Copies of this chain bind each other. A is one copy, B any other.
């Protein structure tokens, strides 16, 4: 069932069918009605490949996700679903491509095979090979997180520096003097993963500004690791009364360790940070934290990409999202 068959049944030419559907030229009401009737009867839809070939665009975008090896965190996974939903609202389909090692072929197929009109790149590093390839191939893309040359690209990012700093100030205002940061895994920090870097910088800067005694540590994205990390931290710094974390996956372990060591939250130790809302609410007691606005980020990323696809020549733009701290009940003045 193709456009020719529709044209035949409606007694018009193929071009008239096309115009009736797209509205790019006037078609008389009677003809239009007849065509739509036939289309409805047989359940016709234009072939996506043929249309893409003729139009020179595919009406699809690529979403490059982090390597499958490292398990995706719930935040990242929620983000994928939100991107798909936001793209759907603009009649765009989403092609998934894992990145890294053996999956380069998939990336190549997508980009050089012109399978997509644009790409959203998740978890970008400060210097990022995929971003460089996209830039050189001329495919419009939006990065989640920014690369070293922040000024030249399109990106959406969360202001981890500012958010972690306000967590620190929140603790300082309550009277805490000795605090710690539980960051994302060390290999992410070392490979120049922006959020981890900026969380650390924001933590150190704000702690220095308030002359707090501050310790920063890294922790794998797992509950068991969070438990160990929390124990080590308390062993090294028994006087600790305030904790900031950007590692949501570690939260259950942190909670477990504190309970086991008999440190009540928030009576004896306050906990805050930047994590997905779901995780903050499942913490015990509910975590006072800046909730990562993934739905927002997904929507802004798709908006930005759509804009860039529509007008390829436009100058770089970016969105740096912030988010107020939601006061729940995991922070209090120190004992």
Using CB atoms, name the residue of chain B closest to A88: B106
A316 at the interface (CB under 8 A from B): no
- B72–A77 CB distance below 8 A: yes
Q: Are A88 and B103 in contact (CB under 8 A)?
A: yes
Judged by a CB distance under 8 angstroms, whether A256 is at the interface is yes
Q: CA of A27 to CA of B231 in the docked complex: distance in angstroms?
A: 67
Q: Are B98 and A48 in contact (CB under 8 A)?
A: no
Nearest residue, chain B, Cβ from A44: B112
Minimum C-beta distance from A265 to chain B (A)? 13
- Contacting residues of chain A (71-103) with chain B, CB-CB under 8 angstroms: 71-72, 74, 77-78, 80-82, 84-85, 88, 91, 93-98, 102-103
Q: Which residues of B contact A224 (CB under 8 A)?
A: 281-282
Q: How far is the CB of A24 from chain B (nearest CB, A)?
A: 19
Residues in B neighbouring A52, C-beta threshold 8 A: 49
A302 to chain B, nearest CB (A): 13
**Complex Cα–Cα for A78 and B72 (A):** 8
**Contacts A91-B105, A282-B252 given; does A113 touch B77 at CB 8 Å:** no
Q: How far is the CA of A122 from the CA of B109 in the complex (A)?
A: 25
Q: Are A115 and B48 in contact (CB under 8 A)?
A: yes
In the bound complex, CA of A96 to CA of B74 (Å): 18
Contact A50 B47 (CB under 8 A): no
Task: State the CA gap A92–B129 with chains docked (Å).
Answer: 23
Taking the full assembly, how many copies of this chain does it contain?
2
> Which chain B residues border A105 with CB–CB below 8 Å?
88, 91
Nearest chain B CB to A291's CB is how many angstroms away? Answer: 14
Instruction: Tell whether A60 is near chain B: CB-to-CB under 8 Å.
Output: yes
Partner of A65, one of B81, B95, B98: B81
| Other-chain contact of A50, B53, B72, B93, B94 (Cβ < 8 Å) | B53
Chain B residue numbers with a CB within 8 Å of A281 are 224
Q: A116 CB to closest chain B CB, in angstroms?
A: 9
Do the beta carbons of B113 and A84 come within 8 Å of each other? no
- A256→B113 CA distance, assembly (Å): 51
- B95 near A47 with CB under 8 A, answer no
Q: Which residue of B lies closest to A108 (CB)?
A: B45
- In angstroms, how far is the closest chain B Cβ from the Cβ of A52? 4
For the complex, is A58 an interface residue (Cβ under 8 Å from B)?
yes
Complex: A238 Cα to B293 Cα, angstroms: 42
**CB <8 Å contact, B95 and A45:** no
The distance from the CB of A231 to the nearest CB of chain B, in whole angstroms, is: 14
Tell whether, in the assembled complex, residue B84 and residue A98 are in contact, meaning their CB atoms are under 8 Å apart.
yes
Are B98 and A96 neighbours in the complex by a CB distance under 8 Å?
no
Residues of B within 8 A of A68 (CB): 81-82, 84-85
